[in-house]
Amino acid sequence: MKVLPLDKLREALNIMANDAEVYVPMLRDDISGYFQWADNPADELALDLLNTYLSPKNVVIPQTEPMYKFKTSKQDVEITEVQVREGARIIFGIKACDLKALENLDMAFLTMGFEDEYYKARRQDLTIIAQACYKPGPACFCEGMGADRINPAADVLIHELENQDYAWEAKTSRGEELTAKIAALMEERDVTLPQAEPQSRKVDMTGVSEKLAEMFEHPVWDDLSSRCMNCGICTYVCPSCYCFDIQVSNRGEAGNRFRCWDSCMYREYTMMAGGHNPRDYKKERYRNRFLHKLQFFNERYGANLCTGCGRCVILCPNGVNIIEVIEKVKEVKLDA
Amino acid sequence: MNDFTNKAREIAKRLLADGTVSVVLGWEKGDEPYASAPTAITELAEVDRLIIDEYCIHEIAALLTDYRDGTDKVAIFAKGCDVRGIIRMIQDRVIPRERLHIIGINCPGMKDPNEYARAASGFGKAPAAEIAAKCQVCQNPNPFIYDEIIGDLQKVEPSNERFASVEEIEKMTPDERYNFFAQELSKCIRCYACRNACVACNCRTCIFDESKPQWVGRSTDTVNNMLYHIIRATHVAGRCVECGECERVCPVGIPLMLLNRKLVKDVDELFGPYQAGLSLEDDAIPPLSRYRVDDPDEFM
Ligand code: SF4
Ligand code: SF4
Ligand code: SF4
Ligand code: SF4
Ligand code: SF4
């Protein structure tokens, strides 16, 4: 099998970065995320991490994304520049949970009769180098959400070997092309792939969406939501939350429109012109997040919108845990 | 702390059974040994979910905003820092003292469940401290306003450490300071967890949620991130009770207490001596929430 030795990795990333934006797991002070290779000299490559606190969704949906610039004069508006960002992108080391989330984003932005051109521009030339996950952590439950953590579908699949070199398998023609560019750095070797350790957190989603459809008014939401403080951590670190808001900033006659992440946990998210808010209380906002993750998305696209990455479970400051929510939902007895 | 849990359940049962309160704010256990989480118990049958252990670090008084519009009585388990938070809520007229039944917990110092979750996760650098940073410099572990109390009085090691890091920043040149904060705040993802965890951020409509006019841009750039933090810090000046929750909950590790402590220090030096959340007496109202003819005004 082809092997990319660890000490050749930086060189490989440099070569890739010649004609593409390359996103790699890195540490910025205490925070880990998929940051652009060689973008900020303070970022350190962080390949020993199981995954990153910030999800890789910024590659296709940056937190703040410029849309277009305009100029006004009296009643007229002229669009002076459309800021669609096409170009080659590579994501290195993405795990099965986040890859599944990317599939979710594809469904939301590219199917059902509408293609979002900003998303499409970032997505269409994205090469995915996924890393098989042999040693899951205590918060991971991607298997319960249907991910294949050893064999996720990608352009290239890499396996971290015992000596930390990467066994390298090109899976698509796009993957072959990329591999050809760094072929000189690779070695051909007999390798033993690691043994997969079991995932300790189990989730069984059988019947959960269907049951949730009957539970909109159930009092369990009061109890479950009581600990939540409606911040945006869970939705912002989630690899598959995709809500955004369209905003404008202008100075005099010139302005630019941009979009930025938004969260259904915020009161302002559902604030109507005129002051009515259909989700005025935290129970309603909390319920929406879980219903979107576990019911609405399933109804529309036939997939869970949670992919079991565990980030919200690790980072929620008030101990909200989506696995416990699923268990509680199962325990609820519905009146006939 | 096992008997804390038993005591807590006994008390909660009594209060719910005899109708003293209709809800009890405390903690319950999640599915990891460290995963203690705030909860609101309303049913007698659910009281045995309550626990008190060494991971109950959350500033539970922040949840009182959920009850601001009711008339029911609320029981709240409160460590020393939580009592300061409760005073914040009472003085800011979120909830009157008469609607609260405070069960104080003399607090031995808490561990941060999030630190433990992060350390176990494999997702990043793991902070190592046993007892949380904010508890190591705590000067008020023992509740001083309560209706009943659990546990033995804790000894307090007097410490002036809390301003040490502020003084480091004060020594910097303006450029160094700007660069320091620009670098730190560029990481902010504007999740507003620091605001929502804050007992002083109890406004019904927060300035950052207003859209007409919109006071601060939503884009996550240095300018708007700085605006967010400068405005929030000045809004809580004189009202911050130094519970350290904003810094604890921040998912990207921004040292927010530097900003807050700077303002705590300034308010204390300019208008003090003053510390927020230590008394319910009239003269303990935050200096920036009242007017006095002898207030300093050299800057005008
Ligand atoms: S579930 Fe946790 S992270 Fe999400 S909004 Fe509530 S408190 Fe914040
Ligand atoms: S809901 Fe939580 S566990 Fe599920 S994908 Fe999002 S962050 Fe990960
Ligand atoms: S859970 Fe909320 S923030 Fe996330 S995608 Fe759904 S509606 Fe949007
Ligand atoms: S930031 Fe200011 S307006 Fe917003 S909740 Fe805090 S004190 Fe209130
Ligand atoms: S908690 Fe941290 S990331 Fe979130 S808004 Fe506050 S400073 Fe920014």
For residue B188, being part of any structural domain is answered with: yes
Contact A63 B220 (CB under 8 A): yes
Same domain, yes or no: B275 and B246: yes
pLDDT in tens, A85-131: 999 999 999 999 999 999 999 999 999 999 999 999 999 999 999 99
Answer yes or no: do A63 and B189 touch at CB < 8 A: yes
**The domain boundary residue, chosen from B115, B150, B185:** B150
Whether B277 maps to a domain, the answer reads yes
- Reply yes or no on whether the pLDDT at A261 is more than 80: yes
Whether the pLDDT of residue A150 is over 70: the answer is yes
pTM listed for this prediction: 0.95
Q: Among A51-65, A171-185, B62-76, B285-299, where is mean pLDDT lowest?
A: B285-299
Q: What 3-state DSSP class applies to B83?
A: helix
User: Which pLDDT tens digit goes with each residue over B236-287?
Assistant: 999 999 999 999 999 999 999 999 999 999 999 988 788 999 999 888 889 8
Residue B40: left if φ>0, alpha if ψ -120 to 50, beta else—which one? beta
pLDDT for residue B233 is more than 90: yes
B295 in a structural domain: no
What part of A 253-292 touches B (C-beta under 8 Å)? 258, 260, 263, 266-268, 271, 282
In a domain, B300, yes or no: no
In degrees and rounded to multiples of 5, residue B87 shows phi and psi of: -60, -40
Global ipTM: 0.94
Indicate whether B63 belongs to any domain: yes
* B296 within some domain: no
With 80 as the cut, is the pLDDT of residue B293 above it? yes
pLDDT digits (tens, 9 = 90+) for B151-201: 999 998 887 788 899 999 999 999 999 999 999 999 999 999 999 999 999
Between the alpha carbon of residue B157 and those of residues A85, A117, B137, B149, B167, the distances in Å are 57, 60, 8, 21, 21
Residue nearest to atom 4 of ligand 4 (CA): B206
Residues of chain B positioned with their CB less than 8 A from the CB of A95: none
Do B254 and B170 sit in the same domain of this protein? yes
How confident is the model over A72-97, as pLDDT tens digits? Answer: 998 999 999 999 999 999 999 999 99
Share of chain A above pLDDT 90, in %: 92
Which one of B150, B175, B192 terminates a domain?
B150
Regarding whether B237 and B134 lie in a shared domain, the answer is no
Residue A336: the pLDDT is: 60
pLDDT of residue B300: 67
The string of DSSP letters for A265-287 reads: TSGGGGPPTTS--TT-SHHHHHH
Average confidence (pLDDT) over A40-60: 93
Whole-angstrom CA distances from A315 to A101, A200, B217, B252 are 18, 19, 25, 10
Optimal mutation site among A318, A326, A328, interface B, most CBs of chain B within 10 A: A318
Domain shared by B180 and B141, yes or no? no
Q: What is the mean pLDDT of residues A139-166?
A: 96
The tens digit of pLDDT for each residue in B87-134 reads 999 999 999 999 999 999 999 999 999 999 999 999 987 766 789 988
**Whether residues B66 and B139 fall in one domain:** yes
Is the pLDDT score of B21 beyond 80?
yes
Residue B202 CA, closest ligand 4 atom number: 5
Please indicate, yes or no, whether residues B122 and B9 belong to a single structural domain of this protein. Answer: yes
Shared domain check, B168 and B106: no
A167 with A193: CB under 8 angstroms?
Answer: yes
- B89 and B169 part of one domain: no
Residues B10, B108: one domain?
yes
Q: Are residues B241 and B135 in the same domain?
A: no
Tell whether B158 is covered by a domain.
Answer: no
**Cβ-count burial B77-88 (b if 16+ within 10 Å, e if not):** bbbbbbbbbbbb
Residue B33 sits in the same domain as residue B116: yes
In whole angstroms, what is the distance from residue B58 CA to residue B250 CA? 13
Owning domain of residue B191: 164-287
**CB < 8 Å from B in window 53-92 of A:** 53-54, 63-64
How far is Cα A102 from Cα A311, in angstroms, rounded to an integer?
A: 15
| Boundary (domain end) residue, out of B150, B175, B202 | B150
Is B35 at the interface with chain A, CB within 8 A?
A: yes
Residues with CB under 6 A from ligand 5: B 188-194, 249-252, 254, 256
pLDDT surpassing 90 at residue A1: yes
User: What are A217-242's pLDDT values in tens digits?
Assistant: 999 999 999 999 999 999 999 999 99
- Classify residue B72: in a domain, yes or no: yes
Predicted local confidence at residue B184, as pLDDT: 95
pLDDT at B128: 64
| Type of residue found at A74 | K
Distance CA(B246)–CA(B256), nearest Å, equals 7
Checking if the pLDDT of A24 tops 80, the result is yes
Question: In degrees rounded to 5, what are phi and psi of residue A69?
Answer: -105, 150
Q: How many helices (H) does chain B have, and how many strands (E)?
A: 10, 6
Are B7 and B143 found together in one domain? yes
Report the share of chain A in percent with pLDDT over 70: 100
Looking at the structure of chain B, the number of domains it has is 2
Q: Is the CB of A265 under 6 A from ligand 1?
A: yes
